[in-house]
Copies of this chain bind each other. A is one copy, B any other.
Amino acid sequence: MKSDNKISEAVVRRLPVYLRFLNDLQKREIPTVSSQELGQKLDLNPAQIRKDLAYFGDFGRKGIGYDVSYLIEKIRHILKLDQQINVALVGAGNLGHALSNYNAYLKDTMKITAVFDSFAPKVGQQIHSLTVQPMEELESTIRKQGIRIGIITVPDFEAQNVADILVASGIEAILNFAPVILKTPSYVRIHAADFTTDLQSLAYYLQDGREEIEDGKQ
């Protein structure tokens, strides 16, 4: 076991992927898994997986592999998912609506417990079991519910403003779906989840020499 000196973001981002697959194994009642199997299923190098896990402790058994249930417990603890983490969603448009559906997926770990929108007609609407609240209530609700993570699904021109409010309300991390670079104090963690840049970078990998569609529907 190493001290938690500095775990790289790349490592941290793989942990949820491990967790997801382990949950799958558990559902299928598979008791044990090796780094080799994990690597094969997740398209990762087995040595990398062992190294990732070893940053946090000696979770495996030589000659055997990793106990699925035990490893799930450990990764959940590392990711702080062994306590409920409350999440606020800001922006009750189509995307916000879609994401609030994922409460089922996030199930026992995180939970979107509040939704906000600045557009008056949206306020008061029901999204599943939640009622859209006005921005004015954001800070008090965040503090009351102990919300620690915010999701931004407002239009680009509102995003920085919303981020500022979230930060002022004591939020510690933001998942940002708006296509802008947010400026926040360094103690606030930001992940960009912008779908348009994802899609545009994919275009780079398309095959060349197809400037025109050959069999265009003339």
Q: Contact residues of A with B, CB < 8 Å? A: 9, 12-13, 15-17, 19-21, 41-43, 78-81, 83, 85, 87, 93-95, 97-99, 101-102, 105-106, 109-110, 143-146, 148-149, 151, 172-175, 179, 181, 189, 191, 193, 195-208, 210-211, 213, 215-217
Q: Identify 7 residue pairs between A and B in the complex whose beta-carbon atoms are under 8 Å apart, listed by A's number.
A: A79-B200, A79-B201, A94-B97, A95-B95, A175-B195, A191-B201, A193-B195
Q: Which residue of B lies closest to A202 (CB)?
A: B173
Q: Which residue of B lies closest to A112 (CB)?
A: B199
Establish whether residues A42 and B203, one from each chain, have CB atoms under 8 Å apart when the complex forms.
no
Given A41-B181, A94-B98, A97-B94, are A175 and B198 also a contact pair (CB < 8 Å)?
Answer: yes
Establish whether residues B193 and A13, one from each chain, have CB atoms under 8 Å apart when the complex forms.
no
The 4 closest A-B pairs by CB, nearest first: A94-B98, A146-B213, A16-B200, A16-B197
Least CB distance from A146 to B in Å reads 4
Q: Which residue of B lies closest to A19 (CB)?
A: B200
Establish whether residues A79 and B204, one from each chain, have CB atoms under 8 Å apart when the complex forms.
yes
Contacting residues, chain B, for A79 (C-beta < 8 A): 200-201, 203-204
Contacting residues, chain B, for A199 (C-beta < 8 A): 87, 106, 110, 149, 151, 175
Given A98-B95, A98-B98, are A12 and B175 also a contact pair (CB < 8 Å)?
Answer: no
Contacting residues, chain B, for A215 (C-beta < 8 A): 143, 146
Establish whether residues B195 and A99, one from each chain, have CB atoms under 8 Å apart when the complex forms.
yes
Given A79-B201, A203-B80, are A16 and B191 also a contact pair (CB < 8 Å)?
Answer: no
Establish whether residues A207 and B110, one from each chain, have CB atoms under 8 Å apart when the complex forms.
no
